[in-house]
């Protein structure tokens, strides 16, 4: 039985980790970390856990937790994990960090985009980017995982086959993305109040969103060239879900059958990536509550461009589900263990 500790268990991603791990046959939670609710019953914070979780919330003492757990999940704001991790800790326990602290390999770029000083740059090179469908072998051997961001997961998986095969001009990539409000976290913010969000859609982080360099890095690795792109996220009035619509110019004429064969070659053996039938566009409602990513594409012969689309649940595959998928790989378990969740509808 894998003993798991969660630092940041009372945020949206942390609570989703609790939901998934309490149903995982090979894992048990030994630490419910939360600075905001120390000594309070976990079910008093999330009443859906009444008579399921009786434990009290603890602090974020990673050194103590490393003595009790086999794996630590840090579902915390940027900067916290890097301030707590150490060689001593990593010699005892595996860490899956859901923040951005170890996703970007250039520490100067991280500090520029996130506006904070990195507290443990010595571990950046070692950390494995935990996009399971691409880095599976490295994840299995890792002791520190940088769990990918929600927008980068959906964007990368939607575009990756075309970038890897060199079929698109990477200088022309534009990503339009939309997310439910849970992506902004559980903290109280005026812009996330019901009256501010309901009956509204808006762009935010235009030309400045912090997931931009993460997406650029992953597509650069895929294509073998430096990628600069436009990424524009939007906030939509729903709880969960991410929808990505990405555009790029084709390098040559391609048929639907040729592109479909490319996507199928990359994803036919992937449990969680579903390549949809012709002309079926991904929708967030068909992946909600699950670890699935639905992807598809449309070739626009008129403009010689391809539209690449993806939909997923930002709290599951975009955060907690992907973290559990990483845990499964790190401990030699079946990759979809505890994650065979049928999407919820309605």
Catalytic residues: 150
Query: How is the chain split among helix, strand and coil, in percent rounded to 5?
Result: 35, 20, 45
| Partners of 38 in beta bridges | none
Please tell me the distance from the alpha carbon of residue 72 to that of residue 5, in angstroms, as a whole number. 5
3-state secondary structure of 111: helix
Check: CB of residue 272 under 8 Å from CB of residue 291.
yes
Distant-in-sequence, close-in-space partners of 108: CB < 8 Å, separation ≥ 6: none
C-alpha to C-alpha distance for 293 and 260, rounded to whole angstroms: 16
DSSP sequence for 25-56: TTEEEEEEE-GGGTTSBHHHHSGGGTTT--PB
Which residues are CB-neighbours of 237 under 8 A, at least 6 positions away?
181, 197, 198, 199, 200, 201
User: Tokens standing for 226?
Assistant: 């430096």
Q: Which helix (H) or strand (E) holds 80?
A: helix 80-84
Q: What angle (nearest 5°) sits at the alpha carbon of residue 132, between those of residues 154 and 4?
A: 110
Strands 71-74 and 94-97 come out as parallel
Contact 318, 149 (CB under 8 A): yes
Show the tokens assigned to 228: 């600069």
What is the SS3 assignment for 98? Answer: coil
> Where is 21: in which H helix or E strand?
helix 12-21
DSSP per-residue string spanning 148-183: PPHHHHHHHHHHHHHHHTT-B-GGG-EEEEEE-GGG
Residue 323 sits at φ, ψ, to 5 deg, of -65, -40
């Amino acid at each position: 039985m894998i003993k798991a500790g969660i630092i940041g268990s009372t945020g949206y991603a942390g609570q989703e980790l609790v939901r998934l791990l309490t149903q995982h046959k090979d894992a048990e939670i030994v630490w419910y970390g939360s600075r905001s609710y120390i000594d309070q019953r976990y079910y008093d914070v999330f009443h859906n856990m009444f008579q399921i979780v009786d434990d009290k919330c603890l602090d974020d003492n990673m050194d103590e937790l490393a003595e009790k757990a086999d794996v630590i999940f840090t579902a915390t704001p940027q900067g916290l994990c890097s301030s707590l991790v150490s060689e001593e800790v990593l010699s005892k326990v595996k860490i899956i960090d859901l923040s951005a602290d170890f996703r970007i390999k250039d520490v100067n770029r991280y500090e520029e985009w996130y506006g904070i000083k990195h507290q443990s740059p010595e571990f950046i090179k070692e950390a494995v980017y935990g996009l399971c469908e691409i880095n599976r072998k490295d994840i299995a051997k890792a002791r520190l995982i940088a769990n990918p961001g929600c927008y980068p997961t959906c964007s990368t998986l939607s575009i990756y086959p075309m970038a890897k095969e060199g079929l698109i001009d990477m200088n022309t990539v534009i990503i339009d993305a939309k997310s439910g409000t849970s992506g902004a976290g559980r903290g109280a913010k005026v812009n996330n109040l019901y009256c501010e969000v309901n009956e509204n859609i808006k762009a935010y982080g235009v030309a400045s969103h912090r997931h931009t360099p993460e997406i650029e890095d992953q597509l650069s690795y895929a294509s073998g060239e430096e990628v600069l792109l436009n990424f524009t996220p939007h906030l939509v009035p729903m709880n969960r879900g991410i929808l990505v619509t990405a555009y790029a110019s084709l390098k040559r004429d391609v048929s639907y059958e040729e592109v479909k064969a490319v996507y199928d070659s990359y994803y036919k053996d992937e449990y969680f990536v579903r390549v949809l039938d012709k002309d079926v566009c991904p929708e967030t409602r068909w992946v909600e509550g699950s670890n699935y990513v639905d992807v598809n594409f449309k070739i626009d012969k008129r403009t010689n461009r391809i539209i690449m689309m993806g939909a997923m649940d930002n709290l599951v595959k975009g955060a907690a589900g992907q973290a559990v998928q990483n845990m499964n790989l790190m401990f030699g378990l079946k990759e979809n263990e505890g994650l065979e969740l049928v999407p919820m509808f309605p």
